[in-house]
Each structure stands twice: as C-alpha cells, then as structure tokens.
C-alpha cells in the first residue's frame, strides 16, 4: 500500500466536494423543488455535508485513465444524489433520527410540521406520518434528479451519447435493483436465526447494499475517460472500486460500534438495536458460549436496549474477536483491490485512487 498522506488527500477530496456541491446546489436545480418543505428535504443531506467518496472515486477514475475529470462532474453529482435518495429511504427503514449529526429527513419534516414551518401544526402520530410521507416523496424526486443530471454528460459536456445512455441504463436497472436487493436482504436477515446465515451470504448482502454503487462509480469514471476504448481497463477500475466498496461497509460496521458519535454523526450501537446481522456479530456469535449467545440475542434487535447493555455487547464483540476478524477482512479486500490498479498508467490520479482505497479502512468517520 502507498504511504497515506492525510492532509494532502483531504485537500484533494475537499476540492472535489466543492465542485460537486456547487454543481448540485445551482439555483436552476434547487428552484425546481416546491413547496418549501420539499426543497428543504431534497437538499438537506447535501447541505449537512458528507465525504463525497463516490463522486471522488468517479472523478479520480476518469483522470486515472487519461480523461478530463471535470467533464465527469455531472455523473459525480448524479451518483451523490442517487446515493442520497437511498439514505433518505434507508433512514425511514432503520428508524434513524440522526444523519451527519443532524435530524434525518423524516424527523426534520415532522419537526417542521410540529412547529408551524410547514404552514400548519401537527402533533404526535400525524406529525410522524407527515415526515415519513415527505421523505418518501423526497427520495422519489432525488432519484429522478440524479438520472436527469446524467444526461448533462452529453448535453453540456459533450460526452459520447452512447456512453451516457449505457451509464444511465446500468445505473437505473442493474445498480438500482442490486441496491434494493441488498437492502431487502439486510432487512430479512435481521429476522433470521444467525445460524441460518454464512459469512459469504452476509458479505454478498453488504456488496449489494454498498459495493455495487462504488463499482458503478469506478466504471462510470473510466468509461467517461476512455469512451468505448479498452473495456478491459474499465473492468479493472470497476473491480477495484467494487472491492473497496465492500471494505468501506465493513469499516462502517466497525465504526458503528467503536467509533466516535461526534465524528460519525449517528448514534453508536444503532446497528445492534436494529438487529443488523453484521459480520462482526456473526463472527463473535460463533465464538461465544451459550450464555453469551443468549445475552447477545437479548440485546440484538431490541430498540429499547439500555446504553449499558449496548456497551456490554460491544465489549463482548471485542472480546470474541469479531471486530478484529472484520478489520482483517477489510484489509484483505483493499489488498486485492490494489492489484486491479496495475494496468493503470502511473500518474497523480492513480496515486489518489490508492490513497482513497486506504482511506476506506483507515477513516474514523
């Protein structure tokens, strides 16, 4: 692995964050969204911040194969918005109240309906239902917005129309269906006996939830940079991004247990309360005594678990090696991913891709 230069890498990342944010928040887009509750909801997570890792790899991939990364900005912005609508819906599914340190969209809109900002005042269940309703519609708008942005690769930046059509088709069929499948499996797994699962099943679910969109970002960036040339090189870049995406989710699961809430912007231990069958939980469960398994299962999936119970289970997961096992697996995936960069020309962007990969498992937020 390359030597990770924290400061220099973050400067590169922030530069692309600024490009993507500027593109997304143009008045010509934002002013489309009415009434005010819809506009505040559609733009909320973009304004909250975020790492913009998906846009970054898309642009790095474009530059790494010799393309002009700025021509890829519409696609980079599109995948960020595409990712954002999945977060909005995911937060409803997971009953999360915090995203990036601020209220999730359904909570934000419920609050607006309670305090009169929506033009009326609702209470209790009606306010909650209003918040969820606006959030569902928000995700619908963001989905369409992301696809519309992709068309600007051609209409504004002159990318071959066939490349743009192929990317739109892949994003809104293969990637969309894979993401939804992964989300459904994640929900279903939380109701299944852990012994009925395998590490391969869990990792496949994680790839479908997260890795598939990262894979698309690598493919999209390389395709924009190369056009229809050198499909094998495009496949190498997308395979690199795919493995990094799964490693990212594994690191996310680790940080969800031992990270810092202020850095993560969401409560520590929420995956346990939601009953998530992560690889950490699976590995620790397999190495636990019957009494420890019973204790683990009494907390896993219990939304009312006390904080001390959550901390006790986190201690058990550490003790049984689940966290260490998953760390090792994430590192192995990044090592495999690096092998896919071998065919890329040696340039600044190739180094950025390597640093981006390391960041996926070194990050603390």
**CA-derived radius of gyration, the chain:** 21
Percent of the chain with pLDDT over 90: 90
What pLDDT, in 10s, does the model give residues 115-173? 999 999 999 999 999 999 999 999 999 999 999 999 999 999 999 999 999 999 999 99
Six token digits for residue 82: 């595409």
What pLDDT, in 10s, does the model give residues 313-359? 999 999 999 899 999 999 999 999 999 999 999 999 999 999 999 99
Structure confidence at residue 4 as a pLDDT band (50, 70, 90): low
Mean pLDDT of the chain: 95
What is the pLDDT, as a whole number, of residue 3? 52
Domain positions in the chain are 6-362
Contact between residue 52 and residue 80 where contact means Cβ atoms under 8 Å apart: yes
In the predicted model, is pLDDT for residue 189 greater than 70?
Answer: yes
Q: How far is CA 249 from CA 34, 297, 362, in A?
A: 34, 23, 12
- pTM for this entry: 0.94
Percent of the chain with pLDDT over 70: 99
Record: fold of 6-362: Farnesyl Diphosphate Synthase (1.10.600)
Contact between residue 80 and residue 18 where contact means Cβ atoms under 8 Å apart: no
Residues facing 205 on adjacent strands = none
């Amino acid at each position: 692995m390359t030597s990770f230069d924290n400061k220099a890498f973050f400067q590169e990342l922030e530069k692309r964050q600024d490009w993507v944010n500027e593109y997304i928040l143009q008045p010509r887009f934002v002013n489309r969204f009415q009434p005010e509750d819809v506009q505040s909801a559609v733009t909320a997570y973009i304004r909250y911040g975020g790492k913009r890792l998906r846009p970054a790899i898309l642009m790095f991939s474009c530059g790494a194969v010799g393309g002009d990364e700025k021509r890829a900005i519409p696609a980079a912005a599109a995948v960020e918005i595409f990712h954002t609508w999945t977060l909005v819906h995911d937060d409803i599914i997971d009953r999360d109240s915090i995203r990036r340190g601020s209220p999730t969209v359904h909570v934000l809109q419920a609050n607006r309906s309670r305090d009169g900002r929506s033009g009326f005042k609702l209470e209790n269940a009606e306010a909650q239902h209003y918040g969820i309703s606006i959030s569902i519609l928000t995700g619908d708008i963001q989905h369409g917005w992301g696809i519309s942005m992709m068309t600007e690769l051609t209409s504004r930046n002159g990318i071959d129309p066939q490349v743009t059509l192929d990317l739109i088709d892949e994003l809104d069929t293969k990637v969309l269906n894979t993401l939804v499948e992964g989300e459904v499996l994640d929900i279903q797994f939380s109701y299944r006996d852990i012994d009925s699962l395998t590490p391969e099943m869990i990792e496949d679910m994680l790839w479908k939830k997260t890795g598939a969109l990262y894979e698309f970002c690598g493919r999209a960036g390389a395709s924009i940079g190369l056009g229809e040339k050198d499909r094998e090189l495009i496949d190498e870049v997308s395979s690199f991004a795919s493995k990094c995406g799964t490693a990212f989710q594994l690191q996310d699961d680790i940080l969800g247990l031992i990270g810092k809430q202020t850095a993560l912007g969401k409560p520590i231990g929420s995956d346990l309360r939601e009953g998530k069958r992560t690889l950490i939980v699976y590995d620790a469960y397999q190495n636990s005594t019957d009494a420890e398994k019973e204790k683990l299962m009494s907390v896993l999936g219990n939304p009312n678990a006390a904080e001390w119970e959550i901390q006790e289970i986190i201690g058990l997961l550490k003790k049984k090696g689940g966290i260490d096992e998953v760390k090792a697996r994430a590192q192995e995936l990044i090592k495999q991913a690096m092998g896919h960069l071998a065919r890329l020309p040696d340039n600044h962007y190739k180094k950025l891709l390597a640093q981006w990969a390391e960041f996926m498992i070194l990050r603390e937020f």
